[in-house]
Amino acid sequence: MRSQSALNEKVTLLRLIGRLDEAWDIASTALRQARFTGSREELANCRIRRAQVQQFMGKLDEAAAELTHCVLESETHEWTAVAASARENRGKVYFEQGELEAAMADFTAAVFLQEKAGATPALLESALIAVAVVESYIAEGTARS
């Protein structure tokens, strides 16, 4: 379980089955390994995965802060696919926090970044659905006001 890809896959699987404490531990291990042996881009990807675990743990402020750092670093270095992932995940956190305008900005940016990175149609569709959902929530909130 020392390979970066194996660690990252295990984090995702543990997160999806709700074993969040274990996912956090493995995500932290993957992060340390990337810090010592990987590229800065891989380190950013590990930080995104760890922030996803934080989100599932209900630590939304911490997840948003971590993802903001990932957004800034990946956009500074023009790591388009990483930036798209960081934006999309931060958008999910913002949505969960009820910050719909911020979520919309991130989801929209993620769509453009994914297009630029040559994402598959399925990945683009997923991001576009997120935009549509947030638009409907915003419209619903405006209609109530």
Helices (H), 39-79: 40-56, 60-76
Mind listing the pLDDT tens digit for each residue in 51-83?
999 999 999 999 999 999 999 999 999 999 999
pLDDT value for 78: 96
Domain boundaries, given as residue ranges, for the chain = 4-144
Burial class from Cβ neighbours inside 10 Å (0-12, 13-18, 19+) for residue 5 reads exposed
pTM of the entire predicted model: 0.92
Please tell me the number of Cα atoms within 13 Å of 121 on its side-chain side.
0
The widest CA-to-CA distance across the chain, in whole angstroms, is: 53
**pLDDT for the residue numbered 1:** 44
Q: What is the pLDDT of residues 98-123, one digit of tens each?
A: 999 999 999 999 999 999 999 999 88
Enter the CATH code of domain 4-144: 1.25.40.10
